[in-house]
């Protein structure tokens, strides 16, 4: 079976992808610097998969370290997650973001090139589209990234395309995620932000556990059915499975692709809050406050290309996202 290097494999989406890769029979080596994750995730992955985890602590910016990893292991492909991901922080720290997200990735690609490893699944974001002209968003929509984070992701996407132009033996799967939510059904892994979360789902989760008093709903005057922002929330396990399908496409058919990982369904902030209340069995406090700068009315993806090319279909609905999130955060809080 193919051997995969999984960078950022201890993170939120990376850890769920690890589980699905192992379940699909891949041999996986995790590389992580634990800058936004905890090594205890590795123990949990061993419990879930019932097998020892091979993990290396290191940074994608450390070319010598990466070279050593490729000298020691013969990889068939890389699934690359290791990156910084907070949009607001990227505005404050554009250099750090460029360094990790773009220079880190190009360092990794350089080592891959020298080692003759030419397949990569890349963790991108639907934020590369910017404000939508049409909904649902298709992959051929214009890209107008607004934040340094989104620009970083587009730079990396373009670098992959340029590499392929220079040498057709490269193949890439660029996966543009919509809004990841939920946790593994084991409740052993999930999203675990250290600080006050910026994103809706982890914020609601902390209101449910009592760590935060109330949700601040950023605006109820959007052009949406209930006036609150609408997004395309996708279960992290579905997202993880999408990576396996992308990888399979590269290994079995050598076919590069750029696809949305989305459900095609939009839910509002109030939909999310109500569904989470049902999942945790508590009333969750909220207040309507002003709009957050840069937010838009509605944003959801066209999932048809991912379905046609990869056979990808998100199977898990909103209830499952909220239930698994609640199970994970309530268990974590009690441990």
Q: Which is nearer to ligand UD1, 70 or 177 (CB)?
A: 177
Judged by CB under 6 A, the stretch of 65-73, 236-244, 287-295, 320-328 that binds ligand UD1 is 287-295
Taking CB under 6 A as the rule, which mask of x and - marks residues 294-313 in contact with ligand UD1? xx---x--------------
Nearest to 206 by CA among 37, 335, 330, 290: 330
Rule CB under 6 A: say whether 274 interacts with ligand UD1. no
With binding defined as CB under 6 A, does residue 135 bind ligand UD1?
no
Q: How far apart are CB 253 and ligand UD1 at their closest, in Å?
A: 28
200 in Cβ contact with 206 (< 8 Å):
no
Q: Rule CB under 6 A: say whether 225 interacts with ligand UD1.
A: no
Among 96, 292, 308, 333, binds ligand UD1 (CB under 6 A): 292
The DSSP symbol for 291 reads P
Residues 221 and 232: their CA atoms lie apart, in Å, by 19
Closest to ligand UD1 by CB, 9 vs 197, is 197
216 vs 248, beta carbon nearer ligand UD1: 216
User: Is there binding between residue 217 and ligand UD1 (CB under 6 A)?
Assistant: yes
DSSP output for 72-138: H---SEEEE--S---HHHHHH-HHHHIIIIIIHHHHHHHHHHHHT--EEEEEEEGGGG-S-SSSSBP
What's the half-sphere exposure (Cβ side, CA atoms, 13 Å) at 39?
6
Contact flag: residue 229 with ligand UD1 (CB under 6 A): yes
Shortest CB 232 distance to ligand UD1, Å:
8
**Is residue 172 among the annotated active site residues?**
no
Determine, following the binding rule CB under 6 A, whether residue 22 of this chain makes contact with ligand UD1: no
Sign of the alpha-carbon dihedral angle for 21, 154, 315, 179: positive
Q: Which position's Cβ is nearest ligand UD1?
A: 229
144 touches ligand UD1 by CB under 6 A: no
- The answer to whether 183 and 190 are in contact (CB under 8 A) is yes
According to the binding rule CB under 6 A, does residue 200 interact with ligand UD1? yes
Residues 51 and 251: their CA atoms lie apart, in Å, by 24
- Active-site hit among 149, 177, 233, 267: 149
From 100, 250, 105, 125, select the one nearest 175 (Cα to Cα).
Answer: 125
> Smallest distance, Å, CB 91 to ligand UD1?
10
By the rule CB under 6 A, 127 interacts with ligand UD1: yes
Are the CB atoms for 286 and 122 separated by under 8 Å?
Answer: no
- Identify which of residues 18 and 299 has a Cβ nearer to ligand UD1 in the complex: 299
Total length of the chain: 335
How many residues bind to ligand UD1 according to rule CB under 6 A? Answer: 19
Catalytic residues: 149
């Amino acid at each position: 079976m193919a051997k995969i290097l999984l960078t950022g494999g201890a993170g939120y989406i990376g850890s769920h992808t690890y589980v699905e890769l192992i379940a699909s029979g891949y041999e996986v080596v995790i590389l992580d610097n634990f800058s936004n994750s905890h090594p205890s995730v590795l123990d949990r992955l061993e419990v879930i998969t019932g097998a020892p985890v091979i993990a290396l602590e290191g940074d994608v910016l450390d070319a010598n370290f990466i070279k050593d990893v490729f000298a020691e292991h013969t990889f068939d492909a890389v699934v690359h997650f290791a990156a910084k991901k907070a949009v607001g922080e990227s505005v404050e720290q554009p250099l750090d973001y460029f360094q990790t997200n773009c220079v880190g990735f190009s360092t990794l690609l350089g080592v891959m090139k020298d080692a003759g490893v030419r397949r990569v699944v890349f963790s991108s974001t639907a934020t590369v589209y910017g404000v939508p002209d049409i909904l649902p968003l298709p992959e051929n929509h214009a890209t107008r990234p607004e934040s340094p984070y989104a620009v970083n992701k587009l730079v990396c996407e373009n670098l992959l395309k340029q590499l392929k132009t220079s040498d057709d033996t490269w193949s890439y799967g660029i996966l543009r995620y919509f809004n990841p939510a939920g946790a593994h059904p084991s409740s052993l892994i999930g999203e675990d932000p250290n600080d006050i979360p910026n994103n809706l789902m982890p914020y609601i989760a902390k209101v449910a556990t009592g760590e935060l008093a109330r949700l601040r709903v950023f605006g109820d005057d959007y052009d949406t059915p209930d006036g609150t922002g609408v997004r395309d929330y996708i279960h992290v396990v579905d997202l993880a499975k999408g990576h396996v399908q992308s990888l399979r496409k590269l290994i079995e058919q050598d076919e590069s692709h750029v696809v949305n990982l989305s459900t095609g369904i939009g839910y509002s902030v109030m939909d999310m809050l109500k569904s989470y209340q049902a999942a945790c069995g508590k009333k969750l406090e909220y207040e309507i406050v002003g709009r957050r700068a840069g937010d838009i009315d509605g944003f959801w993806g066209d999932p048809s290309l991912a379905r046609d090319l990869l056979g990808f279909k998100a199977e898990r609905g909103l209830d499952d996202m909220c239930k698994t999130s609640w199970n994970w955060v309530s268990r974590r809080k009690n441990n």
